[in-house]
Amino acid sequence: MDIIKIGGSLLTDKTIYRKFYQKKTSKIVQKLSGIEKFILVHGGGSFGHYISKKYGLPGDITEERIKAASIVKYDMADLNQRIVKMLNLAGRPAMGISPFFLDKNNSFSYGIVKKVLDYGMIPVLYGDVYLRKDSIRILSGDHIMSSMAQLMKPKRAIFLTDVDGVFDRDPKKYRDAALLKKYSTESVDFGMISNDVTGGMELKFRSMVNCRNFGVKTYLINGNFPERIEYIGKKEFVGTEF
Ligand code: ATP
Ligand code: IP8
């Protein structure tokens, strides 16, 4: 079994509120639908990060943040259902699962994911808001990936985003940035984070290291070329292996 995350930068234009990349998402989902057994996780893109950033989520409880949390919760469910629908249309019954409802006694309880898998369905988890005693918080899809790596013991953890892999510095800002084909201990620069409230590539990077430390082979691949998933383990592979 694999665990796969589609990054919000592939699903949406992160600079424009709720701008969904229908065609690109459909191409990725189509490719993934050929994989035998997997748990899908997706990020927020401009369905999650835009309003969160504008109204200061995560943070202490205020009237403004409560309103924002309700909007973000709705928008993320909307994004999730678009992906679930695409999987269903591709002949793979899928079930959207928000971590909002899995937060019990200050930790997330993921038992339902196993149940959905046992029914032969694809669990589709996603980054979302959740409520703690004194604050409104956001759980990142990258964090869910490391929890899945720990709990479900998958064969592979595959992270899809909009660049070719981990570079020594942000490839969108530096044209001479070098792709790290196999990450060991090299130092990596992540620069300033914009349009993202959960930590951008730096959090993803830490989650990927965690997945690897849980004994799961972990890869970062450019989802604009979903066929690259097939090249994992082959010499044609383009991406970063952890
Ligand atoms: P989301 O968090 O919405 O799910 P995502 O998972 O697709 O989105 P981002 O958090 O947007 O991913 O991170 C991807 C971005 O990280 C790339 O577009 C790239 O510009 C940026 N980045 C910064 N530093 C690096 C680096 N050293 N190597 C690779 N990408 C980097
Ligand atoms: O994009 C965050 O998930 P991520 C989701 O995987 C929200 O970090 C609600 C911003």
Q: Is the CB of 7 under 6 A from ligand 2?
A: no
d(CA 197, CA 120): 34
Q: Is the CB of 10 under 6 A from ligand 2?
A: no
Domain around 26: 2-241
d(CA 102, CA 148): 14
What domain count does the chain have?
1
If one counts every other C-beta atom within 10 angstroms of the C-beta of residue 136, the result is 22
> Residues with beta carbon inside 6 Å of ligand 1?
7-10, 43-45, 49, 141, 161-163, 166-167, 169-172, 188-191, 196, 200-201, 204
CB-neighbour burial class of residue 182 (10 A; exposed 0-12, middle 13-18, buried 19+): exposed
Cα of 138 from ligand 2 centre, angstroms: 7
pLDDT in tens, the chain (242 residues): 999 999 999 999 999 999 999 999 999 999 999 999 999 999 999 999 999 999 999 999 999 999 999 999 999 999 999 999 999 999 999 999 999 999 999 999 999 999 999 999 999 999 999 999 999 999 999 999 999 999 999 999 999 999 999 999 999 999 999 999 998 888 899 998 888 999 899 999 999 999 999 999 999 999 999 999 999 999 999 999 99
Cα of 234 from ligand 2 centre, angstroms: 31
d(CA 175, CA 190): 14
**CATH number for position 123:** 3.40.1160.10
H/E segment holding residue 152:
helix 141-152
